Amino acid sequence: MICAGIDAGSRTVKVVLLDPETREVLSAGVEDQGIQQDLLARQLLDKLLAQRGLGRGDVRRAVATGYGRRLVEIAQETITEITCQAHGVRHRVPAAATIIDIGGQDSKLLRLGEDGGVRDFVMNDRCAAGTGRFLEVLAARLAVPLGSLGDLTRRSSLPAMISSMCVVFAETEIVGLLASGAEAADIVAGVQAAIAARVAAMAGRNVASPVVFTGGVALVPGMDAALAAALGCPVTVAPDPQLTGALGAALLAAQ
């Protein structure tokens, strides 16, 4: 028998299959989100099970987390993404003291206690300026794939100043920078710095190390360096940073 963790996020659905005895990840997958979150979760779960020669009858327990967790009917329990992220990250990085999670629609900072539990957290879910949505808007405006932003950042010699903390106004600012001849690479580096500054402002001065970076935005090259510069301390990208929430859900299912 196995356990499953399902993270129904705002942009993607993630599923992790876990051996409850060894805590070994047996299989994992990510699919773009849509309207029918329960259907997408079922399809991804079935796909991963089939790859292992298994069926739903082999799943002892499933826990759902993320924005759409209450829509995932195949899960026996729902647990907040805050709790699941803490469990998933501590499993991968046992010494983690601070977690920065940046997804498509929100950003979160979790402070962990010595026992791995969440002492407190802050969240930005009202403005897209500190989230992956900012990078999506930027990629669309520059007419480049989202995955190529990291390559542009590495070519930057002088990051542009992005002063607007609202994505709508920042997009207008980006248009103005392009019109004035600013390099795309410098604009991308400037946007990454602006996202990092927003997270640093949300965190305040109380940021304990080690700091672990999770979420889809952690996959964008250069964002970890931008966060490290804004926070004034090293930032480590978690292994499989998109899957830490689903992993935490699977670990809690195994308990």
Percent of the chain with pLDDT over 90: 55
Q: What CATH code would you report for 97-237? A: 3.30.420.40
Contact yes or no for 175/142 (Cβ under 8 A)? no
- What average pLDDT does this structure show over 65-92? 95
In the chain, domain spans: 2-89+243-254, 97-237
* Contact between residue 122 and residue 104 where contact means Cβ atoms under 8 Å apart: no
Q: Is the pLDDT of residue 22 over 90?
A: yes
Query: Can you tell me the distance from the alpha carbon of 55 to that of 71, in angstroms, rounded to the nearest whole number?
Result: 21
Residue pLDDT, tens place only, 204-231: 877 999 999 999 889 888 899 999 999 9
The tally of CA atoms less than 13 A away on the side-chain side of residue 56 is: 10
Distances (CA, A) of 99 to 94, 128, 143, 145, 179: 12, 19, 32, 27, 38
Average confidence (pLDDT) over 25-37: 89
pLDDT at 179: 87
In this prediction, residue 239 carries a pLDDT of 96
Q: 2-89+243-254 and 97-237: same fold?
A: yes
Strands of the 107-112 sheet, one edge to the other: 118-124, 107-112, 98-102, 211-214, 235-237
Nearest 5°: the CA angle 182, 185, 188 is 95
The domain defined by 2-89+243-254 folds into: Nucleotidyltransferase; domain 5 (3.30.420)
Q: pLDDT averaged over the chain?
A: 89
Closest CA to 9 of 79, 71, 72, 68: 68
CA dist., res. 127 & res. 138, Å (int) = 15
Check whether 37 has a pLDDT greater than 80. Answer: yes
For residue 128, name the pLDDT band (cuts at 50, 70, 90). Answer: low
Closest to 6 in 3D by CA, of 40, 51, 35, 55:
40
Q: What integer pLDDT is reported at residue 130 of this predicted model? A: 58
The sign of the dihedral angle between the CA atoms of 130, 189, 238, 77 is positive
- The C-alpha atoms of residue 235 and residue 200 are separated, in whole angstroms, by 12
Of residues 60 and 155, the one with the higher pLDDT is: 60
